[in-house]
Amino acid sequence: MKVTEHIEKANGKALFSFEILPPLKGQNIEGIYNTIDPLMEFKPPFVDVTYHREEYVYKTHKNGLLEKTVTRKRPGTVGICAAIMHKYKIDAVPHIICGGFTKQDTEDALIDLDFLGIDNVLVLRGDPIKSEKRFTPEPNGHAYAIDLMEQVKNLNEGIYLDEDLKYNSPTDFCIGVAGYPEKHFEAPNMKNDLYWLKKKVENGAEYIVTQMFFDNSRFFEFERQCREAGINVPIIPGLKPLSTERQLSLLPQIFHLDLPDALVDEVNKAKSKDAIRQIGVEWCIEQSKELIKNGSPVLHYYSMGKSKNIQKIARAVF
């Protein structure tokens, strides 16, 4: 079922969903099940599975020579989606990205997803390769999420890359896109970022999932600006409980967000790792409750492969 249909069917009741990461190459799928199992009691209608592009890895050989290799550390997005649908009978939403994909690769990937019975895709540009500062599209690939979205939409209309195909069966993907309550880090300002977000919606995005944030007022302001700009699709807030002291600097660095004073002060005063984890959980519970009160259709938690904290939050909220 489409994410938008799940939202409609819920009739105003906030839904619980979460995102998981494929395991590191070499690990088995049990870790994924161990993350999902404790969260099933909160009846997630869909689970997102992230996509991780290739990285450069440098290996030093015995003779001292350095070898640069290209590897994908977390493959398996499509297989995990299929496994989740099979095992839990819920929808899996794969993330699809521009980075590392030609248009042909994308078409083939979408055909696989369609054959698997996947109804939704979260369409993203993807980050630059880890060791590079700027995002570079593949030759004959897509530069922005909106371009990748157009290919998905074309396929939904039966338009394939090869115009001479004898059969051109249309797909029917529901398209989600990313939004940034604290602005995407490359956007010159919020107005410009919202301009492109609106374009994504005008061009077929049916819902938005936001980057994580810790200050609800930033989300409410983002939501207000979206509505004022005429963006009327569901906006799903993305949430993550802070869990370690190190995240005070790591989260702003990686996700380009601000942490509120009150949260930072509490963490700085905490006496133990457990106390910090508890502060993060309580903060996220308060955020969740306020978001539900404000009418958010779904709360989407970034599990980062760990479910214990999210389970505690969901128990208090759903």
Ligand X SMILES: Cc1cc2nc3c(=O)[nH]c(=O)nc-3n(C[C@H](O)[C@H](O)[C@H](O)COP(=O)(O)OP(=O)(O)OC[C@H]3O[C@@H](n4cnc5c(N)ncnc54)[C@H](O)[C@@H]3O)c2cc1C
Quote the tokens at residue 315. Answer: 């128990």
Smaller CB separation from ligand X, 141 or 238: 238
| Rounded Cα distance, 314 and 285, in Å | 8
On the 0-12 / 13-18 / 19+ scale of CB atoms within 10 A, 13 is exposed
Phi/psi at 209 (nearest 5 deg)?
A: -115, 135
Per-residue interface string for the shown chain with ligand X, residues 197-236, x marking contact by CB under 6 A: ------------x-x-------------------------
Among positions 261-300, residues that touch ligand X (CB under 6 A) are: none
Per-residue interface string for the shown chain with ligand X, residues 24-63, x marking contact by CB under 6 A: --------------------------xx-x----------
The single residue among 141, 238, 241, 297 that binds ligand X, judged by CB under 6 A, is 238
Smaller CB separation from ligand X, 252 or 282: 252
The stretch near ligand X (CB under 6 A) out of 35-43, 155-163, 182-190, 221-229 is 182-190
Asked if residue 82 lies in contact with residue 116, where contact means CB atoms within 8 angstroms, the answer is yes
Site size toward ligand X (CB under 6 A) is: 22
Tokens 């338009």 locate to 159
Phi/psi at 140 (nearest 5 deg)?
A: 60, 30
Smaller CB separation from ligand X, 27 or 168: 27
The single residue among 91, 114, 193, 215 that binds ligand X, judged by CB under 6 A, is 193
How far from chain centre, in Å, is Cα 282? 23
Smaller CB separation from ligand X, 276 or 297: 297
Long-range contacts of 284-288 (CB under 8 A, 24+ apart): 284/239, 284/240, 284/241, 284/242, 284/309, 284/313, 285/312, 285/313, 285/316, 285/317, 287/214, 287/216, 287/239, 288/239, 288/313, 288/316, 288/317
The single residue among 85, 146, 231, 267 that binds ligand X, judged by CB under 6 A, is 146
In whole angstroms, the minimum distance from the beta carbon of 275 to ligand X comes to 29
| Contact residues: ligand X, CB under 6 A | 50-51, 53, 95, 97, 124-127, 144-146, 178, 184, 186-187, 192-193, 196, 209, 211, 238
